[in-house]
Amino acid sequence: MPRPLRVAIVGAGPAGIYAADALLKSETAADPGVSIDLFERMPAPFGLIRYGVAPDHPRIKGIITALHQVLDKPQIRLFGNVDYPRDIDLDDLRAFYDAVIFSTGAMADRDMSIPGLDLDGSYGAADFVSWYDGHPDVPRTWPLEAEKVAVLGVGNVALDVARVLAKTADELLPTEIPQNVYDGLKANRALEVHVFGRRGPAQAKFSPMELRELDHSPNIEVIVDPEDIDYDAGSIETRRGNKQSDMVAKTLENWAIRDVGDRPHKLFLHFFESPAEILGEDGKVVGLRTERTALDGTGNVQGTGEFKDWDVQSVYRAVGYLSEKLPKLPWDLETGTVPDEGGRVVEEGGAHLASTYVTGWIRRGPVGLIGHTKGDANETVANLLADHAAGRLHTPTSPDPEAVYAFLTGREVRFTTWDGWYKLDAAERALGEPHGRERVKLVEREDMLRESGA
């Protein structure tokens, strides 16, 4: 009797789980079957949704419900707290599986080429997000002494960072934030948050709903300068061809013409201001210098030579995430991705790396919303199955599912399981119940391993 197709997926965030779901829905899943093992370096699954989405976004976190249903399938196993390549590398995986899919995402900050990035008070947004989301591998405290803060970027991550900085700690208390994050935000001194974009309203990458949510807080006054509402032919074409861009522009227009209210925290959205330098004194941030830009007719902008210094004491750059290079895989330094064709990993000479695939942000870069990774997963899995049907996959030497358990145990890896996630989930919910909260997230890795029964 033929054995099931054995597939390892490295990374148990949305991209990896969508790939598992696509495998289960394929014809191969019925005959002769598919056996899938997900490897995740965190003790808990769900990746970006657990550690990259702001805690006051329960709507987005609701995606976990759908991902949960996939991981409940008996053909899937979870190995949490397993690091690639420290605990298991590509050669090890090849011994146990017919194919390997990498879906490790992107969690580091992309750099900017402006002076002053190394000053005290200059931060990457990804590091701040990891802190307020209770990532176990980052410090437990965050410096929040600045009264005036700049956020560079006009995407949803920039909005998340700005909103968390502008809200009060008590507004965020009903969410799942850990105690150390609440204590840190309680001491936050920020009264003004300035978000800067180098182009105009039509080019902003906010999603309409996330943008509108800024105005829902009783403590945040969102302010847009009427002079920043400007469009050229390229901008008008963008609005006509993209409903979301048009909705964002209309929201910004409405905010620009209204009177400024009296909410205590001010959140300014600036456009046509290109960051030129983070200003410092005695090694600390004391300001931000921007160059005014102007539209060139195509929707792009050019510098005007007019500079302005802004009085801020900290700067957060939210200009994109960057994936970490994966050992034993080819790497594109410019894009920060694994080169591929339809999800098949491509080596430097152009040949496909046998039985090795990628999906999600490690494949195409950190663009698009969470749901967009479904299309990625479907294409990658379709090509994996085509290679399987054509006999192009290698044959593992130890395909017995129990061999992986023996390997990890032999290396003394304290791995967690899907059953362990249920235990951790129950423990976090129990922490929140006395306070009327859905959960309180555990932060310390050791606490997570203990509650998971690693």
The confidence score (pLDDT) of residue 372 equals: 75
Tens digit of each residue's pLDDT (9 = 90 or more) over 92-117: 999 999 999 999 998 888 888 999 99
Mean pLDDT (the chain, rounded): 94
* Residue 318 pLDDT exceeds 70: yes
Tell me the domain boundaries of the chain.
5-106+323-415, 108-321
CATH superfamily for 5-106+323-415 is NAD(P)-binding Rossmann-like Domain (3.40.50.720)
Specify whether domain 108-321 bears CATH 3.30.1440.10: no
Q: What values do phi and psi take at 276, rounded to 5?
A: -110, -35
Three-state secondary-structure class, residue 287: strand
Percent over 90 (pLDDT), the chain: 86
pLDDT bracket for residue 365 (50, 70, 90): confident
Tokens of 67: 């991902």
Instruction: Kindly report the number of other CB atoms within 10 A of residue 325's CB atom.
Output: 14
pLDDT bracket for residue 28 (50, 70, 90): low
Omega of the bond leading into 85 within 30 degrees of 0 (cis): yes
Tokens of 255: 């905010």
Omega of the bond leading into 401 within 30 degrees of 0 (cis): no
User: Mean per-residue pLDDT for 227-249?
Assistant: 97
The confidence score (pLDDT) of residue 370 equals: 73
Asked if 47 contacts 16 with a C-beta cutoff of 8 angstroms, the reply is yes
User: Mean per-residue pLDDT for 328-334?
Assistant: 92
| DSSP conformation class of 370 | G
- Lowest mean pLDDT: which of 96-110, 288-302, 364-378, 413-427? 364-378
* Residue 220 pLDDT exceeds 70: yes
pTM of the model: 0.93
Give me the residue label for tokens 């509402």: 229
Cα separation, 369 vs 279, in Å, equals 33
